[in-house]
A and B are shown apart, each in its own frame.
Chain A
Amino acid sequence: MSTHLSTDQLLHAYTVMRTIRDFEERLHVEFATGEIPGFVHLYAGQEASAAGVMAHLNDEDCIASNHRGHGHCIAKGVDVFGMMAEIYGKKTGVCGGKGGSMHIADQEKGMLGANGIVGAGAPLAAGAALAAKLKGSQGVAVAFFGDGGSNEGAVFEAMNLASIMNLPCLFVAENNGYAEATGSGWSVACKDIAERAVGFGMPGVIVDGNDFFAVHKALGVAVERARSGKGPTLVEVKLSRFYGHFEGDAQTYRGPDEVKNLRETHDCLSLFRQRCSTEGWLDAAQFERIDAEVAQLIEDAVRLAKSDPKPQAADLLSDVYVAYR
C-alpha cells in the first residue's frame, strides 16, 4: 500500500500518536496516586484513528468527541499543557478547570468538545457542518463515537439528517469491542456498524484502526467526498483500547491476557514504526528524537499541572451566561 505521505507528514503523525500514548500512559500512573479528580477514560491503543483522521483536517474543520476524548483533542491541536491542567482541575486548564477530562473543548481549534453524554456529539457535529455549508466555507465536521455510542438515537438521527441535508459531516465509529463492560458483538445488531450506513443513505467503510496508513487512506476519501459537497460517510474504525472504560475499571469482562496480547501484536505505534522502517521512510534516530521530545513535553505538562493554582471562589459563579440580562 503506497501512502503519498511526505516525511514531515509521517513525522507529524508519529508525534501525534506518541504524544497521545505518553499522555495517556502517564495519566494512568498519575491517576492511581489519587491526585486527579473525577473520571478519566483513556485512549491508549486507539492513536492511529485520531491521527489518521486529523491528518486531513485543519483548524476550520470541527470535531465532536465523547468521554474518551484526549486523543481527539491532542490530534486536533489542543494545547497539551492546557489539557493536562484541565484534567487536574487547575485554573490554567483549557476550560479554566470547570470542565475536566470529559469536557475539554477549544473552538479556535475546531474542537467542539469532549462530551459526557455518549452520542451527543453527532448532532453537534452535524450542526457545525450545517453552519459551514450555510456560510459557504469548505469546512467539514467529524463526529467521533464508540461502538456503544453508535447505538444512541442521537447518532441515528444525526446520520439521517446529514444525509437528507447533504451535510459535509463524517461519522467515525471507533469500535474497540466494548461499550463500558458490554461487548459490541452483542450490543450492535448488525455484523458491523458500517452496515448501518445503507440505512442512512451514505457509504459505509470498515478500516483497520491499528494501521495508521489504512485509516489515513480511507479518511482521505471520506473527507474529500464531504468537502466536494457529496455528503456524509460512516467510517467504522476497528481498534482496541489498552485500558478500562474508566481508570479504576478492573476490566474483568475482558479475556485473560487480552490486553497483554493486544499490546504485543496490535500496537499501532509499533506497527507504524515497523512499516516506516521497513519502507525506509523514517529511521530510528528520528523516532528516538520524537520519543525524547514527547517524554519531556509530558513531564513538563504534569509538573506544571501539579503546581498550577486551582480556580477561586469567584470562578464558581462566572461564565454561566455571556450576560445574564
Chain B
Amino acid sequence: MARKISYQQAINEALAQEMRRDQSVFIIGQDVSGGTGAPGEQDAWGGVLGVTKGLYPEFPDRVLDAPLSEVGYVGMAVGAATRGMRPVCELMFVDFIGCCLDQLLNQAAKFRYMFGGKTTTPLVVRAMYGAGLRAAAQHSQMLTSMWTHIPGLKVVCPATPYDAKGMLIQAIRDNDPVIFLEHKMLYSLQGEVPEELYTVPFGEANFVREGNDVTLVTYGRMVHVAMEAAANLARQGIDCEVLDLRTTSPLDEDSILESVEKTGRLVVIDESNPRCSIAADISALVAQRAFSFLRAPIEMVTAPHTPVPFSDALEDLYIPNAAKIEAAVLKIADKRNAA
C-alpha cells in the first residue's frame, strides 16, 4: 500500500491507473509525450518536466501531443468532455491561462448552468503553478483565485504526494470541470502513497497540525513552509494549528471556522499576489462569520503586488517564507513558556 514516491510519480501513477480502469480517459497537451512528428524517439519528454513520461508507450491512442494551440486543444478537450470522454488536458504553465481562458471561463464552466443542467463536462485541466524555479514573471504565477472566482469550476491544490494521487483520481472521476494545480517546486517531494486506487474528497481541508494558539490556513507549497514556521514557533511556546485547504473550490469553510473558533487568531498564507487573493477571500469569510471569536486582527502573508522577478535574490524575497509567517504570528500571539 504505502511506499514513498514523489509528488510527480504520484500524479503519473494516478493517470496510469485511471487510464487502465476507464477507457474514456485520455490526455492531451503540448509534449505530454513529445516526439510526435519528429524523427527521434516517441515519449521523448513525457511532459516538460517528465510528469507524464511512460504513459504514451502504454496508451498510444490516448496520450495526444498537441501543437501550440491552447484555444484549439483546450476547446477540443471541452467539446470531447461533453460527448462522454474524460479528458485530462494539460496547460503547461498556469500562466498560459491567457491563451485559453474563454474555453474554460465561458465554455466549460458555464455549460451545466447555461444549458439547464443537461450537459456534463467532466474535464480535468492540469497546470503547473508557483514560483521558486527562477522561471520569471510569465512562468511562475499562482492565479488560484482567478479560477476560484469562476462558478462552475472546481479548483484543486494538492500539497503532498498522497493528496496529489488521490485528488487527481477524484478529479478524473468528478463530473464537473476541475482545474488541478501542481506546484512545480513540489514535484520531487517524497511521501507515502498507497499503491492501490483511492480518492480524496474535495471540500475537505486537512488538519496537518493541531494546536490551540493560532490558526494558519494555506494551500500548496506554503503548507510545508507553514509547518516549518509552526515548528519554530513551538519552540517559542506558540502552538499553531495548520490547515491545508486542499481545494479552494469547493472550500471547506466549516473547518476554517471551527479552527478559528478554537484559537481566536488567524494567519492566512498565500503564495499569490495579495489583491483579490485566496488569502483575502478567507480573511473576509472569517471576518464575516467568526468575528466574535477573533481575539486579534487577521494577518495575511502573501507575495507582494508585483510580477514574479527573475533574479534569485529577488525571487527569494518575493516568495513567503517561514520567517515572514512567524513574524505575522508573533504580531498577534503572545509568546508563552514551553508546556
Contacts and interface: CB of A to CB of B under 8 A. Distances in A.
B83 A324 contact: no
B69 A98 contact: no
A157 to B, nearest CB: 3
Contact of B115 (A95, A127, A165): A95
Contacts of A113: 111, 114-115, 119
Interface string B105-128: 011001111111111100000000
A158 B72 contact: yes
A116 interface: yes
Interface stretch (B59-67, B134-142, B210-218): B59-67
Contacts of B66: 161
Q: Helix, strand, loop or mixed for chain A's interface?
A: mixed
Contacts of B112: 319-322
Contacts of A112: 79, 82
Contact of A123 (B67, B74, B84, B120): B74
A276 interface: no
Contacts of B103: 120, 123
Contacts of B152: 320-321
A95 B116 CA distance: 4
Contact of A95 (B71, B77, B87, B114): B114
Interface string A146-187: 000000011001101100110000000000000000000000
Interface residues of A, number: 48
B114 A103 contact: yes
Interface string B61-100: 1101011010111111111111111010000000000000
A165 B69 CA distance: 13
B184 interface: no
Contacts of A125: 79
B307 interface: no
Given A318-B117, A321-B112, A127 B71 contact: no
Contacts of B297: none
A132 B83 CA distance: 8
Contacts of B71: 123, 153-154, 157
A122 B72 CA distance: 8
A93 B117 CA distance: 12
A131 B202 contact: no
Contacts, number: 152
B175 interface: yes
A128 B201 CA distance: 29
Interface in B11-61: 26, 61
A120 B75 contact: yes
B244 interface: no
B221 interface: no
B67 A127 contact: no
Given A106-B118, A113-B111, A165 B83 contact: no
Contacts of A128: 79-80, 82-83
B72 A322 contact: no
Contacts of B175: 322-323
Interface residues of B, number: 48
Q: Which of A99, A120, A157, A320 has the most CB of B within 10 A?
A: A157
Contacts of A324: 203, 250
A209 to B, nearest CB: 25
B102 interface: yes
Contacts of B106: 116-117, 120
Contact of B67 (A96, A105, A164): A164
A200 B72 CA distance: 13
A106 B111 CA distance: 11
Given A94-B116, A325-B202, A161 B82 contact: no
A132 B102 CA distance: 24
Given A98-B114, A319-B113, A319-B117, A123 B151 contact: no
Given A96-B116, A322-B112, A324-B203, A126 B82 contact: no
Nearest to A135: B84
A114 B83 CA distance: 16
Q: Which of A120, A123, A125, A126 has the most CB of B within 10 A?
A: A123
B154 interface: yes
Given A96-B116, A320-B113, A107 B176 contact: no
A64 interface: yes
Contacts of A120: 75, 102-103, 106-107
B76 A322 contact: no
A84 interface: no
Interface of B: 26, 61-62, 64, 66-67, 69, 71-85, 87, 102-103, 106-107, 110-120, 151-152, 154, 174-176, 201-203, 250
13 contacts: A93-B116, A98-B116, A105-B115, A106-B118, A107-B115, A117-B107, A120-B102, A120-B106, A127-B75, A157-B69, A157-B72, A320-B112, A325-B203
Closest 5 CB pairs of A and B: A123-B75, A127-B79, A157-B72, A96-B116, A124-B79
